[in-house]
Structure 1
């Protein structure tokens, strides 16, 4: 069977198959030169990749022109409109025809000049590239020119703004400097335009670029905002701001407060480096690097990685630094022409230079750590020696126009409560319920009886009176102008910790992860003054039954002044003072009744005083002194000064009084009882202490939290004593 089968012999190994000769091969393509329009668009696409690259070229040209003020307008992330206005030396009219031709520049003449270039731009490609992919308009005026000239460009050449008009630059009114307007970027390259995902993302890149140059270009003001946006500039940096102030404004106080200056120079490698780097107290989720080489903003992954490795031994795991470095390298050692957008540069001895910079950063951080100190003096034993840095004043916010009768409406915007990170809390949540709120307060029978008999409230049908007095409006405006935003935010979100010292009137509060000591005497004084302004002419009243004789009250105050006063006080005729003040108050009875709910009869009896807060009664022991001060400390001849003086004295009357320290308790091992009280406290003082404690924690501080506008004057009475986040970092590195 097998013999009958036909088996084909194997084909020879490596035999080539013949091609089909019937199929003709295509003719070889000839090499041709591209059209000049295509060449220009390809070149423009290499240099202008996104709106931010066009703006970078325009900013560098403006700074090269000696500008001290740059204003930038953006629409749709720069795709619809990108406009930059500067006050530089401008462009001569004779140079406008070739302004947008490729490789036209005033900064480079020979190829050898590249080895010593010291300006931002030098190739003359920026405006030419922009004119090929956008509608470009230039308005410029030099100091010698009597007017400005406006020119329109397309494909590198002058064009007429409208059909039938001349393409020559047209004179027009304008200020010194240059304004460049770029509209409809990539209008003729639809594929490139469709590649951009969102206008907000491109605008964020623009703000980042403007912020970089705003930090570096000291003496130059920067302003960047969206077109037709009246809410204000996204970036606004004045020319007078220092580098540290610019970093604070653009990158926040958390970075600016922890900066260390850096200066290093090495003649061997031909470079000098200056800048600001964060110390070990600053740690962010990602590295913030501002790098300038010969004043040009560049990216360098090598430098970034090297600096991050240097910080790794100082920061906790996952922490990253902030650093701004300005390197000045000898121009002949730098090749700036290696990247179309000049985003990267190459320079000689790169590894050696980076090593020197990292060593300087390491030494600087080490010096900061060895000199760090923790002050431990007690504020209570010597109030003149603070044991923590007082809060610094911030620039007040610009007050809104118009009359705002309620001062609480002009507080800082309400903060949205977010769940804080665990490392920020350090196992402490200021918004959590305190355990003391779950306990039934233990109160004595005398306290309960006293509360029942203390005060009964009656509600009247009196309608609120709208205050239209100019003097009161001006006093309210002064409070708004003096507002301190940071302190207002701390008070409005604080958690009350407890009273530290009733004699010096100091309480502890927690704001975020920080602990503050507050002079609640100053705080209450400002709060009750603001309540007096807000509720002016609409106070409740505390009525006395029977009425109190003014003469007797003033006599008590005079005796106090005589016993506590100096030798000069002994020479004063206090009987005459009593009669003078009494006559003054009786004569002003109508004013006091109408505006201050303070009723004084013609017979010289006090029937009522203003009620500023329910649930809290001021100490009536201060009433005689309050009445006596209304004579010499109030200017009754001037309306504004009169109201201000009366409200200040009323606020001082309402401030909780200074109480003596409670008797201490000592341990006596020989005693059978184990504890022994040193001295017994007077019952009335103990009762008043209990009332003040309860009012401060449950009435006054919650009211301050709800409506107090913290002014800059209160900074003297607020002291930061602990920062849990900072302590957490210290212990984490231990």
Structure 2
């Protein structure tokens, strides 16, 4: 049995043969010597990293042509670029004296020292494209400058000049030609047969070339592009020099895309970027996202940007629907490192998360602004079908039949025009009548009608309780970029917990009115549905997200004169003891002075971190100088300030960075949430309560802020989470359902 199976009993089962073993399995007696690779092998390895497919060679050649100031590019392709890849431009050309070193590695006119990489503004700069191509293909260059009397043609092999035919001189030869450069790449990968055999379909490679040419044709304005197969008279792509970006998209990607485009542009000096482009609206969707991304005019790929854009569009498009987006992103070259990928397909840049978030928020606002009407495809009457009016039964009662058996329409089946069904109408004008305008004005308070209107209360009535608070405006303050991984993880956690349907409701809602101030409930309309929203929870979610977005860049509310920290903590401690005595009778009170001293020492010890990240400034002597400003135009409830400061001691995890930031921002959001206030008629739990002028002013300020600050902000940037969906919103009416109820009545 053992001989038949030929089992090796000397070595254990599952053991692997080492790579440095000899043919008989025994290890070598001496270590192998380290030798330098042959330069030809080195160059072929480098060429394989840069030129992976014909489309990569074409990309390098197109970028060189655009760098040379070309306004017209003609591309000819044979067998998917493997047999012939030719590009002709009308640029500045190449000097005859530069032709001998044209295809040597690291020869370039765009870079002299390493520091030049920090401000590189051209496509190519390393001088490796033509060198790599010459090692794996037969390369021919024909070029003519403006001052030259004739064109010069040179052939290259392995980075050096080569004769066009055996026995001829390798020196460049004068030929007839027009200004510019023509580069012909023949027999690509002839010296790397394994790579060449890996390409199975020439048509697939040609499709990749067409896609790359189309991307640059859209981005490079004032440059004409044409691309065709060898031997065919018609061009696959033909774009004129004067064509606009929309016309270029229409010619390359079709009219269905071009007719649904929305232009956008945004910038932010804090992150040093400018973004502009075109994106489809909610009427267009396909099965796969088409993203034309150019960073500093270089076509690149970014999975982070693609995922963020798809997430931005998810509330606006149907399930499995994706958009078309052309995005040109210009970033300060000092913030970009393009020298990170052999083909320069990927780049690294600073503040990636902040830039992506700013762009996606701007696109979201654009989509929300134009998302007033949508186009839906509907199924018409099938052939052979018989149409019947929805009110046939009622029509038969009201219109008696004639004696000859025909109806009043003489037997015709024509459908008469009718107005749209009211149960499908959606109110989109927020200036229409609201709930508060239907209520009788309260004689006691006299401010119910004003609260329901869109007018803002007088400025004197808004800040009556905090006359000493003033905004600090610092014009020369430089925003700081957040590079903390913990903050980025917290932002990602919010995005992962997003409820898409609820986010869309908030992004397109119409504010109806405040229903109950004591329970902090407001009504909004989303589509044909009416919802009750716990605006305290919604404000908490929004303020927490604002804290993550503006981390390290908060404004401040400065106190003049400063407040005594221990005095504020003592006030909060007395309130806590009073509440504990009312609910837990018979227990001893804890030491107030010791607790106040402990919390105060914690805050003073960490005062530098609190001011740097949150704008909470505390002096070494224990004076509260400022608190963070999260929402401009809204004064936080200062009555909650002592309790907010006291809770920072036991409820913030000071020992862990991520938990510290999360708990502090949640406490800050809780502090900013609008407080409960007496109702307009003064009716409280214990009977009649007479409101003073200060309480009335505060109530007006909160009502105005909820309607005109918070809910409009929810439209623009609130990411509604699953927790908010579970207990923060309730559907109370559906227009279609109400119509069915009334029909039964």
| TM-score where L is the length of structure 2 | 0.49
Counterpart in the other structure of 1:123: 126
Figure out how many residues of one structure are paired with residues of the other and give that number.
Answer: 391
Measure the CA separation in 1 of the matches of 2:348 and 2:30.
45
Q: Residues 669 and 675 of structure 1: is their aligned pair in 2 closer, same or farther, counting only changes over 3 Å? A: farther
Measure the CA separation in 2 of the matches of 1:220 and 1:47.
26
Tell me how far 1:223 sits from its aligned partner: 0.3
Contact 1:667 1:674 survives alignment (8 Å): no
SS in 1 for 2:371: helix
Counterpart in the other structure of 2:201: 198
Q: Residues 593-612 of structure 1 correspond to what in structure 2 (within 5 A)?
A: none
Contact 1:668 1:674 survives alignment (8 Å): no
Tell me how far 1:79 sits from its aligned partner: 0.3
Counterpart in the other structure of 1:132: 135
SS in 2 for 1:150: strand
Tell me how far 1:428 sits from its aligned partner: 3.5
Tell me how far 1:266 sits from its aligned partner: 0.3
Tell me how far 1:373 sits from its aligned partner: 8.6
Q: Residues 406-485 of structure 1 correspond to what in structure 2 (within 5 A)?
A: 426-428=378-380, 432-435=383-386
Contact 2:289 2:322 survives alignment (8 Å): yes
Tell me how far 1:163 sits from its aligned partner: 1.2
Tell me how far 1:671 sits from its aligned partner: 9.3
Measure the CA separation in 2 of the matches of 1:152 and 1:302.
43
Which deviations, in whole Å up to 9, do the C-alpha atoms of 1:294-324 show, x marking residues without a partner? 0000000000000000000110111001100
Q: Residues 28 and 668 of structure 1: is their aligned pair in 2 closer, same or farther, counting only changes over 3 Å? A: closer
Counterpart in the other structure of 1:305: 307
SS in 2 for 1:310: helix
Query: Which among 87, 99, 103 is matched to residue 102 of structure 2?
Result: 99
Q: Residues 155-234 of structure 1 correspond to what in structure 2 (within 5 A)?
A: 155-230=158-233, 232-234=234-236
SS in 2 for 1:364: helix
Q: Residues 161 and 669 of structure 1: is their aligned pair in 2 closer, same or farther, counting only changes over 3 Å? A: closer
Counterpart in the other structure of 2:656: none
Which deviations, in whole Å up to 9, do the C-alpha atoms of 1:214-270 show, x marking residues without a partner? 00001001000100112x001111111100111111111111111100100000000
Measure the CA separation in 2 of the matches of 1:111 and 1:53.
25
Q: Residues 373-388 of structure 1 correspond to what in structure 2 (within 5 A)?
A: none
Which deviations, in whole Å up to 9, do the C-alpha atoms of 1:4-50 show, x marking residues without a partner? xxxxxxxxxxxxxxxxxxx8842111111111111110110110010
Does the alignment pair 1:347 with 2:364?
no
Tell me how far 1:146 sits from its aligned partner: 1.1
Which deviations, in whole Å up to 9, do the C-alpha atoms of 1:525-574 show, x marking residues without a partner? xxxxxxxxxxxxxxxxxxxxxxxxxxxxxxxxxxxxxxxxxxxxxxxxxx
Counterpart in the other structure of 2:66: 63
Counterpart in the other structure of 2:335: 333
SS in 1 for 2:174: strand
Measure the CA separation in 2 of the matches of 1:334 and 1:182.
32
SS in 2 for 1:145: coil
Contact 1:668 1:676 survives alignment (8 Å): no
Structure 2: stretches of 5+ with no match in the other structure: 1-25, 388-394, 426-503, 505-525, 529-745
Runs of 4+ in 1 over 4 A off after TM superposition: 666-680
Query: Which among 353, 367, 370 is matched to residue 368 of structure 1?
Result: 370
Counterpart in the other structure of 1:293: 295
Measure the CA separation in 1 of the matches of 2:386 and 2:401.
33
Contact 1:148 1:175 survives alignment (8 Å): yes
Measure the CA separation in 2 of the matches of 1:26 and 1:74.
54
Q: Residues 670 and 78 of structure 1: is their aligned pair in 2 closer, same or farther, counting only changes over 3 Å? A: closer
Tell me how far 1:155 sits from its aligned partner: 0.6
Measure the CA separation in 1 of the matches of 2:279 and 2:403.
58
Measure the CA separation in 1 of the matches of 2:65 and 2:284.
34
CA RMSD of aligned residues (A): 3.5
Tell me how far 1:669 sits from its aligned partner: 7.1
Counterpart in the other structure of 1:83: 86
Structure 1: stretches of 5+ with no match in the other structure: 1-22, 375-422, 437-665, 681-685, 695-720
Contact 1:67 1:86 survives alignment (8 Å): yes
Measure the CA separation in 2 of the matches of 1:25 and 1:216.
58
Which deviations, in whole Å up to 9, do the C-alpha atoms of 1:168-220 show, x marking residues without a partner? 11101101100000000000100000111210000010000000000000100
Contact 2:275 2:330 survives alignment (8 Å): yes
Measure the CA separation in 1 of the matches of 2:314 and 2:162.
57
Q: Residues 233 and 669 of structure 1: is their aligned pair in 2 closer, same or farther, counting only changes over 3 Å? A: closer
Tell me how far 1:673 sits from its aligned partner: 7.0
Measure the CA separation in 2 of the matches of 1:671 and 1:331.
81
Measure the CA separation in 2 of the matches of 1:339 and 1:215.
24
- Whichever of the two has the greater Rg, that structure is 1
SS in 1 for 2:218: helix
Measure the CA separation in 2 of the matches of 1:28 and 1:46.
30
Tell me how far 1:433 sits from its aligned partner: 3.6
SS in 2 for 1:104: coil
